[in-house]
Amino acid sequence: MDAVTYPQQAVQEFLADSMVPVRIPFDSPLSQEFRVTWLPMLITLDWNGAEHYRTVGFMAPDELVPSLMLGCAKAYCDCGLIDKAFAKLGKLLSTWPESDAAPEAMFFRGVCSYKSTHDPATLKEAFEQLTEQYPHSQWTKRAYPYRLL
Amino acid sequence: MGAIAWETDMKAALAKAQAAKKPVFADFFNPG
């Protein structure tokens, strides 16, 4: 991460604009508190310290930024800041549509829409979009029941 | 854009995040 990912401008700009980055050595007591069992473990927390998303293992710059966008969106949505969540998900899907995080972002955008509107059609729409754009993604499979709504 | 402005203390990071209403990115790593 130090040699390849963190020196990249896109990563540095995203972190400076959107998150507060903190590095914790694996032998810190916090590793046990957060159940860190392998490195690097990358965790998105909200400003109260609650966890919303985690990944493990190396991530290239063009995967880390969208992954962090997804983490931010989940934190915002769980904290009731739906507009901010939608903004992050929209940016992710328009800027990084080929990233590994994109299908999950599309799935999660449907979930956020449903949470804010209680309209089941938003979940069905998410399934239809996933089927069209990411037909082989696990997130399309997970949205499969929504076709019946 | 310079290097990433890492915090090294979780409490300090959370205080900064609370003030800015920004999520925290916690990187658990091996300092070698």
User: Which amino acid makes up residue A111?
Assistant: V
Crossing angle between the packed helical segments A101-117 and A61-78, to the nearest 10 degrees: 10
For chain A, say whether B23 makes contact (Cβ under 8 Å). Answer: yes
Helix (H) or strand (E) holding A56: strand A51-56
Distance CA A17, CA A128 (A): 33
Write down the ipTM of this complex: 0.96
pLDDT of residue B32: 83
Contact A110, A127 (CB under 8 A): yes
Residues in A closer than 8 angstroms to B12, CB to CB, are 22
* Nearest-by-CA chain A residue for B32: A25
Distance CA A137, CA B30 (A): 32
Q: pLDDT tens digits for A10-49?
A: 999 999 999 999 999 999 999 999 999 999 999 999 999 9
Please list the alpha-helical segments (H only) found in chain A.
9-18, 29-33, 61-78, 82-95, 101-117, 121-133, 138-142
For chain A, say whether B32 makes contact (Cβ under 8 Å). Answer: no
Contact B15, A47 (CB under 8 A): no
Q: Among B5, B9, B14, select the one facing A16 at the smallest CB separation.
A: B5
Q: pLDDT tens digits for A86-135?
A: 999 999 999 999 999 999 999 999 999 999 999 999 999 999 999 999 99
This prediction has a pTM of: 0.96
Extents of the domains making up chain A: 9-148
What's the CATH code, domain A9-148?
1.25.40.10
